[in-house]
Amino acid sequence: MNSLTQHHGQSKEIAGLDFFAIALISRHRVDYMFANGNMQVGVIIAIRALGDDGKIVQLSDEQLDSIQLINYRNGNALSGGWSYSSIENSYVHQYPVGLAQSTLDSLHEAQLDKPYQQKIYWLTTTKVEPIQISAQILLNQQYTTRDSEYYKVV
């Protein structure tokens, strides 16, 4: 992935990220879903890139689309019945028995006072097993939320 981004018509080198976080749209730490391949759990990734001058730069749509959801435990791409898409389907997204745990503002309120970009994915599965998820992106180097945050989907 190219580590350049456009900013006011000029290319800027991406020096790094100063914010990269993942959360479930429900704002729960754990979400539940049926393994029918239709039910989806929304996942939001918040990201803020810095240019080589230390100023915030906007990532391109292509760069945002390169963010991947990964298995938190092993760092591998999701597989074995787990998949995700940018497209939300029309099926119900809430598990009917209210098993969700207490809410958590996982996007670190203190970090949200500066502009950031976001990517939303819709996770689904046909596998009956829990999974812990993280996000990763390759810019000037590989970045992952695996070092700090994970969210469990059952």
b/e 74-113 (16+ beta carbons within 10 angstroms → b): eeeebeeebbbeeeeeeeebebeeeebeeeeebbeeeeee
Distance CA 117, CA 125 (A): 27
The tokens 């180097």 sit on which residue?
141
**Most distant pair of Cα atoms in the chain: their distance:** 52
Phi, psi for 11 (deg, rounded to 5) = -80, 135
Q: What is the pLDDT of residues 117-144, one digit of tens each?
A: 999 999 999 999 999 999 999 998 999 9
Name the pTM for this structure: 0.80
Q: What is the pLDDT of residues 44-101, one digit of tens each?
A: 999 999 999 999 999 999 999 999 999 999 999 999 999 999 999 988 777 654 433 3
